[in-house]
Amino acid sequence: MESGVEELMPRLLPVDDCDLTEDFDPTVPPRTPQEYLKRVQIEAARCPDVVVAQIDPKKLRKKQTVNISISGCQPAPEGYSPTLKWQQQQVANFSAVRQSLNKHRNHWQSQHLDSNVTMPKPEDEEGWKKFCLGERIYSDTLSYDESLGIDYIKVGFPPLLSIVSRMSQATVTSVLEYLISWFGEKKFTPELGRWLYALLACLEKPLLPEAHSLIRQLARRCSEVRVLEENKNEEQISALNLIICLVSR
């Protein structure tokens, strides 16, 4: 036995040191307590210091089921609560999007980005907010001349597959956190909704604890905005319902 092991695991029974080079036949049962303890020593000494489990992530993703309890969510306004059939359909659609994204991720990563697309660094919070939402929403300025064509710097870049496929899980979680933080003080917009949906689809299972916390926070914020919706805009409430549904289910 190595001295380092001796210090960490003090010997509890009086057993002499064994010769690890001697022949050892594991099929022969020990005949005495001393032989049994010697066998334990030999087997422990032959164990590798580090053992790595061979896990197939594809099998893990197929069998992984996540149920998230959301406390603090406000109930939907009367007449705007989604039906169970609608929720099941949305979950099925979302699952299909996730599977397609995982299947074709390498293909979309290999596609060249347009020359005007410069993805911010993962730690650039303000850069990602402007990239996703556009300077018009980020700066809360409504003036924009659409007749001049689409200016993605102004209106924000959509979550194209060629963009989100390049984002690591750490980046996906960070950008999700940036947008949820922004949403905590701002109104819901279609641009925000598209990116939230895309980032949720990019999250890989099993979810990390911080991802669990983030999406629960997102669902609670969506429920608050849904209650405060004065004009009861059906399209907006439907979008909020969708996010709450996907997080909870």
* Conformational region of residue 149, where left means phi above 0, alpha means psi within -120 to 50, and beta covers everything else: left
Given a contact cutoff of 8 angstroms between Cβ atoms, the answer to whether 221 and 180 are in contact is yes
More confident position, 150 or 63 = 150
- Judge whether residue 66 has pLDDT over 60: no
Given a contact cutoff of 8 angstroms between Cβ atoms, the answer to whether 61 and 204 are in contact is yes
- Judge whether residue 180 has pLDDT over 90: yes
Average pLDDT estimate for 156-167 = 91
More confident position, 219 or 65 = 219
pTM (predicted TM-score):
0.68
Note the pLDDT of residue 4: 46
Note the pLDDT of residue 152: 73
| Domain spans, the chain | 84-143+150-248
- Judge whether residue 206 has pLDDT over 80: yes
H or E, element range at 97: helix 84-109
More confident position, 100 or 137 = 100
Note the pLDDT of residue 183: 92
Interval 11-54: pLDDT, tens: 666 666 655 556 667 677 888 877 787 777 777 777 887 877 77
Average pLDDT estimate for 211-236 = 86
- Judge whether residue 69 has pLDDT over 80: no
Interval 125-154: pLDDT, tens: 999 999 999 888 877 665 555 555 577 778
* Conformational region of residue 76, where left means phi above 0, alpha means psi within -120 to 50, and beta covers everything else: beta
Architecture of domain 84-143+150-248: Up-down Bundle (1.20)
- Judge whether residue 1 has pLDDT over 60: no
Average pLDDT estimate for 194-202 = 95
Rg (CA), the chain: 28
CA distance 190 to 227: 18
